Structure 1
Amino acid sequence: MFNRNTLLILLAALAAGLGLWAAQGAFAPGGAPAPAAMPAVDPARLKAVRLFPAPRAIAPFALQQSDGSPLEPAELAGRWTVVFLGFTHCPDVCPTTLTDLSRAQKAWDNLPEARRPQVLFVSVDPERDSPEKTGEYAAYFHPATLAATAPEPALGQFATSLGMVYMKVPLEGGDYTMDHSNALVVLDPQGRQVGLIRPPLVPDDIAADLAMLAEVAP
């Protein structure tokens, strides 16, 4: 019988495959115009970010931000974005990850705002995490963190378009937790998925890599 971790890995592989298939379709000859090339950065210079061979298109999405306004692709355009899926009741991975990201964000404070990378935290637990609560949680770690969530199926579609997965896991006593992908997704200023950051996270490396990418491809 598959355990929970095995199932999550299989779902992640499936979602990543679907995302790659969609991206390949978007870039196929005879389809939409070819997108701009990947940033001209030697991958060997990057310590935290693992760039893809080619950018991957993300399906249109509509999440809800903590102030009630919609979060759509246009909201992220123009800046490099690091996306993290989590939930406010997370006991360990989420607070640790957001703490690491906050250290990177502090290192970006000296960059011009126009090319300052940003962090987007998306709650995968809309049953307990309202947009407002998600925003309060994210702001505790860094006030500049964008925060959003959405009801199903919009939330699941957003995660799948990034090649990420999550699942509700019942606990004794009627409570539950959420299993979710712990990699970070890197979006370029055109809103395309161009890479991943996998644990263990090193804040200084994340800060340096995103600053370099923002300088080369603002």
Structure 2
Amino acid sequence: MFNRTTLLIIVVALAAGLGLLASRHAFSPAPSNPLPQTQAVRLFQPARELPPFSLRQSDGTPLVPGELKGHWTLVFLGFTHCPDVCPTTLATLAGAQKQWESIPDTQRPRVLFVSVDPERDTPDHIGEYAHAFHRDTLAATADIPALEAFTRSLSLVFAKVPAAEGAPADQYTMDHSATLAVLDPQGRMSGVVQPPLDAKAIASDLTLLTRATAP
């Protein structure tokens, strides 16, 4: 468990790391097949391979790297007891999802909601929560060590914040990154989308990227 000071240090360190990563990509040779210019998505090129991971989807099946291939995917961290950021973000992403519904299912971009609160968020519960915003939203979670490894690979963070003094212990909250990780059709870390989020811009970017990388 982290306190807020520790979390702030981690966030600053990761932000610096993202800046360094972005600068390295900015000065790396241009790829032979550059991706289109995007509005909301900040692309990293070349994309970064993710280490092995294993999450549990809302239907109980494993979510492993191979499951994320074939589509552009937006990954968002959150938890179902979140009072503001999570529902607002998922509602915005649902607006983007509605705009790309005409794309064939085999290529359609995806949204993956990852709960960082496995103590309270069962797979069934996160599925109901995510699908209330959009039926196509994927939902997954895991134990804390697996979640820490997965989120670290995306340069995202989360931490449990204890309940206020005198409040029930289960009234804790979770601090987590509001940035979205962008995975390409090979399941690699390919970029980020940072708040404030714009559904129209996100939908336009993911549609362009999908068309640019369609087989």
TM > 0.5: yes
| Equivalent residues in 2 for 1:1-218, closer than 5 Å | 4=4, 7-15=6-14, 40-43=34-37, 46-172=38-164, 173=167, 174=169, 175-218=171-214
Aligned equivalents of 1:38 and 1:141: distance in 2? 38
Letter in 1 for 2:35: V
Could you list the per-position Cα deviations for residues 101-146 of structure 1 after superposition, in whole angstroms to 9, with x for gaps in the alignment?
Answer: 0000001111111221000000000000011111110000001100
Give 1:20 deviation, angstroms.
9.9
* Helix, strand or coil at the partner of 1:121: strand
**Structure 1 stretches of 5 or more lacking a match?**
23-36
Aligned equivalents of 1:144 and 1:167: distance in 2? 27
Partner residue in 2 for 1:25: none
- Judge conservation of contact 1:19–1:162 (CA < 8 Å) in 2: no
Q: CA RMSD in A?
A: 2.2
Letter in 2 for 1:178: M
Aligned equivalents of 1:146 and 1:94: distance in 2? 14
Aligned equivalents of 2:75 and 2:85: distance in 1? 15
**Structure 2 stretches of 5 or more lacking a match?**
22-30
Indicate the larger mover: 191-200 or 169-178. Answer: 169-178
- Judge conservation of contact 2:36–2:208 (CA < 8 Å) in 1: no
Letter in 1 for 2:197: L
TM-score of the superposed pair, with normalisation by structure 1 = 0.85
TM-score of the superposed pair, with normalisation by structure 2 = 0.86
From the superposition, tell whether residues 170 and 204 of structure 1 become closer, same or farther in structure 2 (CA, over 3 Å): same
Aligned equivalents of 1:91 and 1:97: distance in 2? 11
Aligned equivalents of 2:20 and 2:48: distance in 1? 9
* Helix, strand or coil at the partner of 1:110: coil
- Judge conservation of contact 1:39–1:217 (CA < 8 Å) in 2: no
Letter in 2 for 1:8: L
